Structure 1
Amino acid sequence: MLTRADLEAREAATLAPYAALSAESGGREYPEAESEARTAFARDRDRVLHTGAFRRLEHKTQVFLNVRGDHYRTRLTHTLEVAQVARSAALRLGLNETLAEVQALAHDLGHPPYGHAGERLLDGLVRAHGEASGFDHNLQARRTVTQLEDRYPDFPGLNLTRTVLDGLNKHERAGLGQPTLEAQLVDVADALAYTAHDLEDGLRSGLLLEGDLLELGLWRELLARTGLSGVNLSKRERRTLHRELLGFLIGDLTAASAAAITASGVGSVADVRAQPGYLICHSPAVAALLSETRQFLFVHLYRHWRVEMQVAQAEQILTTLFEAYLSRPQMLPPAYAARLAGAGEVRTVCDFLAGMTDRYALDMYEELTRPGLGMGWAR
């Protein structure tokens, strides 16, 4: 049976010199004995997996409300796809797969209900009520794992290692240098994954048409690689294109990143942090294809009139809930009411709403707005 020391020794012997090692995790804010059987990063991953915040991602919107169909991505399936991409690329680059995995699993824990529309709305609401820092899902992910998850008697949050927490900090990096290569990889894998799966979900929904995609250089590249016509595609042919897309993008990501790492001459995590920018990247040609594709998705999918109807629904629900709980904070559940003195009413209400699933937000909205429903839970 392998011990933690054995696993740490394996990392030191097999990973690249610029990979982040579990044995050099930076420790934890609240001292505690490490596991005898798991590395520090493996323990962090397991803690994230067992949170309520992680489970709630199943019922949070990616692009389409999950009541619209059983096969559209949710925030949870998106997270799992990011973890798969990050692990695959980390393996090829000699990086720490476990660190990449835990940061991928945690990166969206702060996302509110109703996707990016919910994030924009909460940001506007808290700013309008005097919170200059606004709302950002990246900052909320860190807040979730350091404060909001209540699972241990001796400390708030999950007490994750400092290296993992640093990887969740995409802002305010002055003096900190660049993130580890594993954290950079998750950041790039996030954009890669949502671009790929939003194309597939857009086609499945009928909001994107195959003929319209012919204007995209990335789509034409995939058709050339697969020999498909690009119109009247069967479900199996769409899946073939999606697989080819992922393989193409991951292959380019690993090749371009390997070249950038070699050219930089980095030989340690400290060298990585001292770099002027990211070393994890796509080639210029593929980066341009992705940029064009994301702009296309913004115009033709994220701002499609049917998606905008979902946005309008989200605005009505979250605005009503925010104003109701802010005007009557005594309606907050006890766990959140206990935070009012320390965090203040605006931030506490924001925390409560950000943790909701789409379905729970709708349920609370109906209890508040439909006469006679509000007492059903009290029996």
Structure 2
Amino acid sequence: MAAVSRLSDFHTAPFIGAVKDEWQLFSDRSEDYTLGPPIGFGSSSIVYHATYHPKGSQDTPIPCALKVLDLDKLPPGSLRLLQRETQLMSLSKHPNVLRVRGSWMNGHKLHIALRLMNAGSAADVMNYAWPGGMEEDVVRCILKQALEGLNYLHVNGFIHRDIKAANLLIDDDGTVLLGDLGVAAPLIEEDHSYVNEASKASRAVIFDLDSEPAPRRSRVGKRRSFVGTPCWMAPELVSGIQYDSSADIWSFGITALELAQGRAPRSREPFRTLLSHIVEAAPPTLDRDGGVHKYSRAFKETVESCLVKDPSLRPTAAQLLQTPFFRNAKKGSHLVGAILRMHLFLSLTSCPDSL
């Protein structure tokens, strides 16, 4: 258990592109927090709305999220994944990557304090405000910030491996953070993954592709583990061949389609059919005119550049950020305004007597 609580042991070298953290770190003392109501549930964890009370009597209490994990309920082999996630989140200093603000053990339960992302995930926002898909400016605003965080991970030698709308967290100020780094991994070495049988295409899965345990192997820039959420997985990952950060770019392209269409392509297909289609069928494309909103040719071309079967032909996150499509993305404040406008529209249409 001590290994879990020492979050700073994971990565000692400074991160490339790290910036000064504008959000203060909290404490690692349970007595500095007041627990509120639960706001999220997992198989072995509960996320609570909480309040952090700084030591100074004049300091204003800070609302936060507190993730409480019961380590006794974790599936076999997943403790190491948990260590990786919390350690990476504790050291990442980027405005678009979720960071651990404090952590401590209480018996067999690990408590992790995080910034409270009041708007929920991009998937949450889409489901209640844009169930048929988001407007292009909103999609681009979300994706640009996610891409900044993804580029930060990539230049520091990590792959996220589970990019999707549910893992893009949005705050009241329009900030988008990459969350759920539980299956993120370094590209400097291959390791064993951990079996987590899953039957639903929307659930993240991790399978070991090696039939027998083998020693850790040095393999710069490539991995083989079958990791992620099936609908968003890159073909090379599904095929069991070596992959690198370009697999995240494929998932990023699928996420763009998810935000534009209201759901990921092939999300309603059976699990095994889905996997074969990812490998064998043509990549999905953006229907510019067939949905709720109309989309630009530049958006369609951006998605297509990400969803190329040959990983070597996909752009990097850095290259995508330099395209006019993302350079011209609006700031987070636009996202705030768009969400508020949609809230107002929905409230008025659901209560016509208020007009």
Whether the TM-score (by the shorter chain) exceeds 0.5 is no
| TM-score of the pair, normalised by structure 2 | 0.31
Larger radius of gyration: 1
Higher strand fraction: Structure 1 or Structure 2?
A: 2
| Structure with higher RCO (Cα < 8 A, 6+ apart) | 1
Higher helix fraction: Structure 1 or Structure 2?
A: 1
